[in-house]
Chains A and B, each alone.
Chain A
Amino acid sequence: MNPLRRNIALVFVLLAFVGGSLLFFRAFSGGNAAPLHATVLPQPVQLPDFTLIDEDGRSFTKASFRGQWSLLFFGFTHCPDICPATLQQLAIARSQSIEQDLEFPQIILVSVDPERDTPEVLAAYVRNFGTDMKGLTGTDEQLRRLTKPLGIYFEKSAQTSDNYSVDHSAAVLLIDQDGLWRALFSAPHSVDEFVNDVPLLTGAD
């Protein structure tokens, strides 16, 4: 075999080795199929029956989740730090995914401060993060019908009479198109965790 033919043969052997190794790696790692940050519930969980109102004053119930995936975050508009940061991260993740032609769930802020977060206040607030972002509110009792069974905590922490904060669970919940709770993202959040994991969980990749 002349040197040229030997080198070409060597290149083919090397290419076959590299290609085979990649296939072997993908087969055993499942590609990138495992979510990196989200906790997938062992069994999908039925949401409790609840009735809230959205930013347009329309009724929103368990049935309203039907037909599309949703990401649920519990927060309030007077929260300057973690709430707008999380909604911004979700909104950026959504726009990055849509740029890659991937479907992304609707984003819903459930207010844990019904006293100040009227539908009008929520409408002005959520539309800053995307025209299709939703905001839900209701009475304290109506909200707790949804949050309590999901293990979402919220409690007012009085500072002064006109100025209070609300302690609240900072997780993001993924609800499927049949209204079943499927996965949980624990805080602190990042854009990357949503960009990477959401399509894997919804099957949009």
Chain B
Amino acid sequence: MNRVALLLATALLFQFSCSADGGPSLAVTDVSVYAPVPGSGSSVAYMTLQNKGNADVIIEAAASPQFRRVELHETSLEDGVSRMRPVSSLSVPAGGEVQLMQGGVHLMLLEPRQDLQSGDTVSLEIQHNEGLLIVDATLQSRFAVNE
């Protein structure tokens, strides 16, 4: 019986791929979220996603109470032409990290539900195969002044 429980516990541990200390696998650092530029109706979030677990974590979707839609997009620059395409999912390798950054994969924040200014706080809900990661961030300005 103990052996069954042990096997079950091992299987669960494998499935949820917790980090070595038993905490959640996915963590974020270096979060930058920009306030939408008036007229644009959209904005962007960059961050580093770290996977402390022993299995890959798959980012499946994202949402935010402050935006009607949040989509995972990738910008590429090829032969001087910038292209942006939706990304259906993103894998963060076990023990590794993925950077969401300018000119690469990023979270596109669409249709703000309210007037958002730099200094306001927004919440990003990152849906992955192990659960939900909530990231709160203060909006930065795209203005040239005070940069």
List A residues at the B interface (Cβ < 8 Å): 77-82, 84-85, 87-88, 91-92, 94-95, 121-125, 128-130, 153, 157, 159, 163, 165, 167-171, 186-188
Contacts and interface: CB of A to CB of B under 8 A. Distances in A.
B48 interface: no
B145 A95 contact: yes
A163 B110 contact: yes
A139 B103 CA distance: 28
Contacts of B43: 80
Contacts, number: 98
A125 B43 CA distance: 12
A82 B41 CA distance: 15
Contacts of A159: 86
Interface in B30-76: 34, 37-44, 73, 75
Contacts of A167: 81-84
B147 interface: yes
Contact of A130 (B34, B75, B144): B144
B80 A80 contact: no
Contacts of B86: 159
Interface of B: 34, 37-44, 73, 75, 77, 80-86, 102-103, 106, 108-110, 142-145, 147
Given A81-B103, A94-B144, A186 B40 contact: no
A140 B73 CA distance: 26
A121 B80 CA distance: 26
B77 A128 contact: no
Nearest to B108: A80
A81 B44 contact: yes
A87 B42 CA distance: 16
